[in-house]
Amino acid sequence: MLTAGSILMFSCNKKSSTATDTLKPVITVAEPIANDTTSLTLEPEVHIEFTVTDDAGLHHLSVLLIKNNSDTIMNETPSVLDLKVYSFHEHYMPIGISSLTGLKVIIKADDHSGNTETKVIDFYVEP
């Protein structure tokens, strides 16, 4: 009986601490820089680098790379369950770029309490 009571108290404490979590995850982007232009003749890759943190622990993360506001050219969902800090660094080589082309990175992170943060970074590549 005593063990059951302890388990019940522990589970209640855990729920109440999660229920009081009102802080959104924090996304700190290193690359790409908003509205920057990358010349693919100088650097044939697009760098996507950021860190996401959450005080109570992350639940889900998604990273999209969109070309011309409609074509999804990268869709990543790294495993971040219960992590408080996660660093993402990927290199993507765009193909078929014949003129100045708009790209967009959309980063969406949420925690166990449903707090969500989204960052959208628009930038350009040129051949």
For residue range 66-124, list pLDDT tens digits in order.
998 889 999 999 999 999 999 999 999 988 899 999 999 999 999 999 999 999 999 99
DSSP letter string over 81-121? Answer: TT-SEEEEEEEE---S--S-EEEEEEEEEEETT--EEEEEE
Distance CA 120, CA 110 (A): 15
What is the structure's pLDDT at 19? 61
Burial of 43 (0-12, 13-18, 19+ CB in 10 A): exposed
- Whole-model pTM: value is 0.82
CB of 45 closer than 8 Å to CB of 92: yes
What is the structure's pLDDT at 9? 46
Which residue is it, tokens 């995850």?
25
Structural domains for the chain:
21-126 (2.60.40.2550)
Distance CA 127, CA 125 (A): 7
Supply 75's token pair: 């869709």
The model's pLDDT over 38-49, given as tens digits with 9 standing for 90+, comes to 999 888 999 999
DSSP letter string over 10-39? Answer: HHHHHHHHHHT--PPPEEEEEESPTT-EEE
Distance CA 34, CA 108 (A): 17
